[in-house]
Structure 1
Amino acid sequence: MGEASYVIGIEIYRDRSKRILRLSQKAYIEKVLAKFRMSACSSTAAPIVKGDKFGIHQSPQNSLKENQMKHIPYASVVGNLMYVQVCTRPDIAFALGMLGRYQSNPGIEHWKGTEKVMRYLQGTKDLKLIYKHTKNLEVVDYSDSDFADCLDTRKSTS
């Protein structure tokens, strides 16, 4: 049967001699971008930046705006992007955590946020998650928190 090279949308690159495992979802990301008509979009440097704020006040407040948003596949986009995030791209986790809060009643600003994440993936689809062997176990921890940044609850997201 041989070694697996592609499993559920994840390309597997293995170098046994160097003890390195690389995981990529480039093809899956390209399919997602095509599915949501973002294949030709320009890229952006980050999935979310300091000034990007999302809140319940950006959700539709009347039936006209709700009807406009019914034609936008917001939950489907968030779901597809979450699969990418869970498997190989933890760099989009914060943005998706913010955007995922509004799946029951997303507004146009929330939709623009998902488009921005897709534009970021367009420019970084070649990135791979790499696992490699080291002689000494080294635990590295990065932390970043925001103080009361959720506009709806005033709770921190970290």
Structure 2
Amino acid sequence: MSLPGSDQVTDSDLTHLNKSGAAAMVDVSAKQATHRLARAGALLQTTPHVIRLIEQALLKKGDVLATARIAGIMAAKKTSELIPLCHSLMLSKVSVDFQLLPELGQIQIETCCVLSGQTGVEMEALTAASVAALTIYDMCKAADKAMTISNIRLLEKTGGKSGHYCYPPKGDL
């Protein structure tokens, strides 16, 4: 096993491979159900003009943030259909929030997924952030084709054997 923060990955770190090296779904049936939470983020870079259009609901496709919020929630619920080997989970909560930074032309997206279960919800939170960002892009592309989506990342996770993680990890600053 590699040390946390190390760049070296060993076979024992790759939980979705069986002993033969083939892709396999992890068996979580023997694990205790615990309260688990994951927060993820993404950054959409556009122009101050597009942020004003969103704030004033002037885009032809409708309420951008409400649509992106619903898309993110739906995506979290469908993660196991999108990401091979993910378990389907009974999510207790999914939230998708936005912070508009008009002067920078940015939208910060933060998602949170919660459940009581045998496996984590990191992929659901990351999928929600990604799809919310893609939805904003889709709804605003007529106004700015040069938008970028970046910094999709896990912000925090709690629960399970590996415990609490918070971005950035200590020593990465």
Q: TM-score, normalised by structure 2?
A: 0.24
Q: Which has the higher helix share?
A: 1
Q: TM-score, normalised by structure 1?
A: 0.26
